[in-house]
Amino acid sequence: MQKELLLADEAIAQGAIDGGLSGVYAYPGTPSTEITEYIQGSKQAAERNIHSRWSSNEKTAMEAALGMSFAGKRSLVCMKHVGMNVAADAFVNSAITGINGGLLVLAADDPSMHSSQNEQDSRFYGNFAMIPMLEPSNQQEAYDMAYTGFELSEKLGYPVLFRVVTRLAHSRSGVERKPTKEQNGNSYPSDPKQFILLPAIARRRYQTLLDAQSAIEKASEESPFNKYIDGSNKKLGIVACGITYNYLMETFPQGCEYPVVKVSQYPLPRKMMNKLADECDTILVLEDGYPFVESNLRGYFDNSKTIKGRLDGTLPRTGELDPDSVAKAFGLSKEQVYSTPSIVKMRPPQMCQGCGHRDMYEALNEVLHGYENSKVFGDIGCYTLGALPPYQAIDSCVDMGASITMAKGAADAGLYPAVAVIGDSTFTHSGMTGLLDAINENSNITVVISDNETTAMTGGQDSQGTGKIESICLGLGVDPAHLRVFIPLKKNYEEMKQIIKEEIDYKGLSVIIPRRECIQTLARKKKAAK
């Protein structure tokens, strides 16, 4: 078969397409976005009629993917690690229902927080749900896992969590493709009550999940992605998870002298771990993310073995690993080959020239200077950069949709004025329910839905609310008299200030929609039209 140069994200997408995928569901989030975008742009996917529209949020994506599985088709759901929090209800319960058609749940973790609020490790979700997990070490494995993952899911009867990290997701390598499989036809669960989680049925399904653990563990033991690689020096045994196996091989280009267990499928392969423990005095755990395996092994070996890794300081506790940090753990090198060159200057992110958010913040800041204790609650998107100079316009940014609800809570505590700033895509992702809370109590807050008609922060994907924001607000119950729209431009500056002040002075819930298309999206449209 042909060989292609692919990002790991692209390799996963192509592997899923070749593996019989019928639908991908996702909300854009770095570093997972490129998977869905690749499928959307794939001629092969279009010819095979693979569903690839964006979902409103990760929970709706997870539920839609489970619905496709219910109908017997193979589905993929993609999100970044914090998206797992949004999808958690459906995700955990999908382990109780099990699947019909194969279901892969792709979680892209972001160690070092390149574009995230935390370093959260999605392997804990897989362990919590008690389902199989895959974690590739390179782009070829990423393809192979996506290609075979649906069959693994169908064989075991459960969703499979597929975990990647930023460094792998956004790096390229040659990938050899395999023959394309046919998509599943429609079929439905043999047990008509399988997906009905009433307590009596859920209790039975939970016991079924517990009973399946031996088969899930056996699959991990027999997985071609897990390997025991012997070494002559038994003083140290190494557990290398996912991408860290690459870092280990870079540290020992002539071959590692220590025994190694390469882990790319979970649960941990028990027999391999026991063999490593029996043969080696000390175990070093290499893993990108939280000390997930290290913590498990400390309990597993009941303190009878010395376990080294992130918890004891052998490796850094925070941030992503790299070949330098792995080499240092072996005492081989302290020179940072992969450090940032001194010629490279820091360039903090900033809003684009011509961005409508800039004009909105300038007007908002000027108006709020006239109030003693004003606070602005921000959200996730390009407009979050309003926290930085020269604007320094927001006082919080916690999670998707938190701006409105935090503003409401602060107003409930007596804060005035309390302003929420949220983008159009984030609003439809998880801001609508918070707005409904505020409407029902006529909370004394001003909500600014800064509408650039796209999901700009992740590259300009479709926004679910485009052309519908006013209708949504009115449908939820916003007073039409206090639903205001303006175009954020310098020429409209005085009008913008007047509207903002009027709505802040209004003692109740008001919504302001500054609307101007993202300058980057507009530029791409103009280029495409030529």
Q: What whole-number distance in Å separates Cα of residue 56 and Cα of residue 463?
A: 8
DSSP-assigned states of every residue in 280-334: -SEEEEE-SSSSHHHHHHHHHTTTSSEEESTTTTSS-SSS---HHHHHHHTTS--
Name which CATH class applies to 3-221.
alpha beta
pLDDT digits (tens, 9 = 90+) for 410-468: 999 999 999 999 999 999 999 999 999 999 999 999 999 999 988 877 877 888 888 99
CA-to-CA separations, 135 to 182, 273, 336, in angstroms, rounded: 25, 17, 26
pTM for this model (two decimals): 0.92
Q: What whole-number distance in Å separates Cα of residue 90 and Cα of residue 59?
A: 7
How is the chain split into domains, by residue range?
3-221, 227-329, 356-523
**Domain 356-523 part of CATH 3.40.50.300:** no
Q: Are 91 and 259 in contact (CB under 8 A)?
A: no
Per the DSSP assignment, residues forming a β-bridge with 198 are none
pLDDT digits (tens, 9 = 90+) for 198-207: 999 999 999 9
Q: What whole-number distance in Å separates Cα of residue 500 and Cα of residue 482?
A: 11
Give domain 227-329's CATH architecture.
Answer: 3-Layer(aba) Sandwich (3.40)
Per the DSSP assignment, residues forming a β-bridge with 64 are none
Please name the residue that has the structure tokens 């900033």.
350
pLDDT > 90: what percent of the chain? 84
Q: Are 397 and 406 in contact (CB under 8 A)?
A: no
pLDDT digits (tens, 9 = 90+) for 122-181: 999 999 999 999 999 999 999 999 999 999 999 999 999 999 999 999 999 999 999 999
* b (16+ CB within 10 A) / e for 177-203: beeebebbeeeebeeeebbeeeeebee
- Average pLDDT score over residue span 498-519: 95
